[in-house]
Structures are given as structure tokens and as C-alpha cells.
Amino acid sequence: MNCRAIRAFGFAAAMLAGGMMVCTAAHAQAGTMEKAKAKAADSMQASSPSAVYGQLVKMLSSEVISAAEAMPADKYDFAPTAGKFDGVRTFGGQVQHLAEANYMFFSGFGLSGAPDDAKLKSLKSKDELVQALKDSFAFAQKGVDTMTAQNAFESVGSGRMKMTRAGAAAFCLAHSMDHYGQMVVYLRMNGIVPPASQKQGM
């Protein structure tokens, strides 16, 4: 093989090697980009409605139930009298109303285990009412556990309670916060710092 042929062969080999290196680098870069895209997609993956609402119900129910447990049994018939408080619910009435409402909000979800409304209205003692409240939040938790991305905005229920599953769950949360605020006022008027506030030093 003469020198010219050797040089031509060497040049061709160098070009081929360079091309292979470029090709390998391109494949490596493409692979890295695909991995990065997959990682980004995983991090941006939407949480399920049941997970989002379920966590909110769990957090809120803990605060409301702890407030109900904090009021002494002999204060369950307490209602403010000073100021514009005519006709407001007693503390026990707040707890009872919350239990009734929680069942109502999820009544269209096709769940079993809801008690008779008359039975809820007949409850009087602290122990009965606190247990009813706990049971009602467990029922609400079962309701949000049925929510998916596909059914969250389907209408359920009937009459004035006809709304989407997401709407019913959101309404339940807002309603619970409303009455939790009133329960907090009743507790503080009796010299009791709500347990959730004690944890925060408030």
C-alpha cells in the first residue's frame, strides 16, 4: 500500500471514528434529555382529587374533633348571651349540626352507613355527639376517597344539594371551618384554648 493510499485510508478511518463519536454523543445527549423529560413529567404529575381532598378532610377533622373533645360535658349547653347572640346554637348544637351536615354533603356519593337523621337529632350528651362527629368525618373521608379525575366534576345528589363531587367536598370543608371558628369562640369564652391553637402557642 503506497503512502497516498495509507493517508486516504487514515483520513477515512478518522472521519468514520469522528462520525461514530458524534453519533454516540448525540445518542447520549438524547438519552439524557429523555430522562430529564421523564423526571420532569413525574414531578409535575397531578395529585388525585381523593388525595388532595382526603388530606384536607383529615387535617380539618382533627382540629374540629379536638375542639369538641376540649369542651367539658357540662358546658355543651353553653351559648353566648352578652351581645347579639340571640338564637345561636349551643356548643353541643354546633357539634350536632356539623355531624348532620357532613352526612348531607356526601349523601349523593352512593355510600352506605349514614345514620337516620332523626337519630342524629336525638343525641344530647357530649359522648354521643363527639362520637357522631367522628363518625360523620369518617363518612366524609369515605366520600372523598371515591373521587377521581374522571368523576370529580360529575353532578351528584338532588334538589338543592345537587352539585359536583368536588363542589360537595369543598362545601363540606368551608362549612366545617365556619363552625370550627364558632366553636373556638365558645371555648375561649370559657377559658379554654383550642388544642390546635395550643400546638401553635396561640
> Is there a single domain that holds both residue 88 and residue 13?
no
> Is there a single domain that holds both residue 40 and residue 102?
no
Domain span at residue 5 reads 1-45
pTM: 0.76
> Is there a single domain that holds both residue 89 and residue 163?
yes
Cell numbers of 55, please? 388530606
Query: Bigger pLDDT: 185 or 85?
Result: 185
CATH number at residue 189: 1.20.120.450
Partner residues linked to 156 by β-bridges: 163
Partner residues linked to 164 by β-bridges: 155
> Is there a single domain that holds both residue 167 and residue 182?
yes
> Is there a single domain that holds both residue 111 and residue 181?
yes
CB of 104 within 8 A of CB of 172?
A: no
> Is there a single domain that holds both residue 109 and residue 92?
yes
> Is there a single domain that holds both residue 39 and residue 53?
no
> Is there a single domain that holds both residue 27 and residue 126?
no
Q: Residue 187 above 60 pLDDT?
A: yes
Spacing of C-alpha 168 from chain mean position? 13
pLDDT tens sequence across 162-172:
899 999 999 99
pLDDT for the residue numbered 195: 93
- Looking at the structure of the chain, the number of domains it has is 2
> Is there a single domain that holds both residue 108 and residue 17?
no
CA angle at residue 50 from 46 to 54, to 5 degrees?
A: 115
> Is there a single domain that holds both residue 25 and residue 61?
no
CB of 143 within 8 A of CB of 156?
A: no
Last residue of a domain, one of 10, 29, 45: 45
> Is there a single domain that holds both residue 8 and residue 59?
no
Spacing of C-alpha 55 from chain mean position? 3
> Is there a single domain that holds both residue 137 and residue 104?
yes
pLDDT for the residue numbered 16: 41
pLDDT tens sequence across 10-54:
444 444 444 444 444 445 565 666 766 666 555 456 789 999 999
- Give CA–CA dist 199/118, Å, rounded: 37
